[in-house]
């Protein structure tokens, strides 16, 4: 697990965008796994800027999002379909047919789940998966207690998650109680994973994810099982890590070797 500690959220976003630019430059038809929420917004802004400058094209790229609230239509103001259109897709040269966000408003949710998993497989699997992390250590909407082998499915959201997300809605009562989400097992099949976290509120989750035992009570800790994971955090989110000096040494040595 590579741990990259950066000065602030701006630096985290810049670092993340460079990872995507490097991925797509090397493989123009990359399959990218995308996330929503406040954490990736800076990264998406950097990617839009890079696209406008001609540094990256998404013309051949295919994307899969992690999750969607159950019951929200794609045009709902807080749906992740709309979030992705407004935050990224409408500003780059990606084909709408190459973007995939699970539908939370379908009648046959089991069919949607099966088709989403099949679509990822048909695309050849995800090359680079972007993740955020909840204050309780959840990744996507895999709440504490989620099976580490889980696939795409419906999950009930904890009150803590709903409270954390209430700022995007008018009130806690308006936050959906369930969501459709990629499972931890699905995420771990990605060829590489990039997790971003900023702010003191994520410090406990990052420490447990990176240095704690692998446990379903901290879903992010399952990333320790993957061979190509990068955790990019700002100083505040890294504040509770016990091996800060070692992680810094690893990055200095990586720079000397000329690795991205």
Q: Is 138 among the catalytic positions?
A: yes
Q: What is the pLDDT of residue 257?
A: 87
Q: Is residue 139 pLDDT above 80, yes or no?
A: yes
Q: Is residue 51 pLDDT above 90, yes or no?
A: yes
> What SS3 state is found at 192?
strand
Furthest-apart CA atoms within the chain: distance in Å = 54
CATH architecture for segment(s) 2-256: 3-Layer(aba) Sandwich (3.40)
Cα–Cα dist 92/168, whole Å: 24
Catalytic residue among 105, 138, 164, 234: 138
Q: What is the pLDDT of residue 114?
A: 97
| Tens-place pLDDT, residues 183-236 | 999 999 999 999 999 999 999 999 999 999 999 999 999 999 999 999 999 999
| Tens-place pLDDT, residues 237-251 | 999 999 999 999 999
Catalytic residue among 67, 112, 127, 164: 67
Cα–Cα dist 95/217, whole Å: 38
Kindly report each contact of residues 224-228 with a partner whose C-beta sits within 8 Å and lies 24 or more positions away, as own/partner: 224/1, 225/148, 225/188, 226/1, 226/188, 226/190, 226/193, 228/191, 228/192, 228/193
Q: What is the pLDDT of residue 258?
A: 82
Cα–Cα dist 2/197, whole Å: 14
Catalytic residue among 112, 143, 164, 234: 143
| Tens-place pLDDT, residues 165-188 | 898 898 999 999 999 999 999 999
| Tens-place pLDDT, residues 64-123 | 999 999 999 999 999 999 999 999 999 999 999 999 999 999 999 999 999 999 999 999
Q: What is the pLDDT of residue 255?
A: 87
Q: What is the pLDDT of residue 111?
A: 96
| Tens-place pLDDT, residues 27-41 | 999 999 999 999 999
Domain boundaries along the sequence of the chain: 2-256
Average pLDDT over the chain reads 96
Q: Is residue 128 pLDDT above 70, yes or no?
A: yes
Q: What is the pLDDT of residue 58?
A: 98
Cα–Cα dist 194/177, whole Å: 27
Q: Is 173 among the catalytic positions?
A: no
Q: What is the pLDDT of residue 260?
A: 65
* Band of residue 146 on the pLDDT scale cut at 50, 70, 90: very high
Q: What is the pLDDT of residue 55?
A: 97
Catalytic residue among 105, 136, 164, 234: 136
Cα–Cα dist 7/16, whole Å: 14
Give the helix, strand, coil percentages of the chain, each rounded to 5: 40, 20, 40
Q: Is 67 among the catalytic positions?
A: yes
């Amino acid at each position: 697990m590579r741990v990259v500690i950066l000065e602030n959220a701006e630096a985290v976003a810049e670092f993340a965008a460079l990872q995507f630019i490097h991925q797509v430059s090397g493989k123009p038809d990359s399959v990218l796994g995308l996330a929503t929420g406040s954490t990736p917004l800076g990264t998406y802004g950097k990617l839009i800027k890079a696209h406008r400058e001609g540094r990256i094209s998404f013309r051949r790229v295919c994307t899969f999002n992690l999750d969607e609230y159950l019951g929200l239509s794609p045009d709902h103001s807080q749906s992740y379909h709309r979030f992705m259109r407004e935050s990224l897709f409408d500003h780059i040269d990606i084909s709408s047919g190459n973007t995939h966000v699970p539908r939370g408003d379908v009648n046959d949710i089991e069919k949607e789940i099966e088709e989403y998993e099949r679509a990822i497989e048909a695309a050849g699997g995800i090359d680079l998966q972007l993740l955020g992390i909840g204050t309780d250590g959840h990744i996507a909407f895999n709440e504490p207690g989620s099976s580490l082998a889980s696939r795409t499915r419906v999950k009930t959201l904890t009150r803590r998650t709903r409270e954390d997300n209430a700022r995007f809605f008018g009130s806690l009562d308006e936050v959906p109680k369930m969501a459709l989400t990629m499972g931890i097992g699905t995420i771990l099949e990605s060829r590489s994973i990039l997790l971003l976290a900023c702010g003191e509120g994520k410090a406990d989750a990052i420490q447990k994810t990176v240095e704690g035992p692998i446990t379903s009570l901290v879903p992010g800790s399952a990333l320790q099982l993957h061979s190509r994971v990068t955790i990019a955090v700002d100083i505040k989110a890294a504040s509770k890590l016990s091996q800060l000096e070692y992680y810094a040494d690893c990055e200095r040595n990586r720079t000397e070797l000329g690795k991205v």
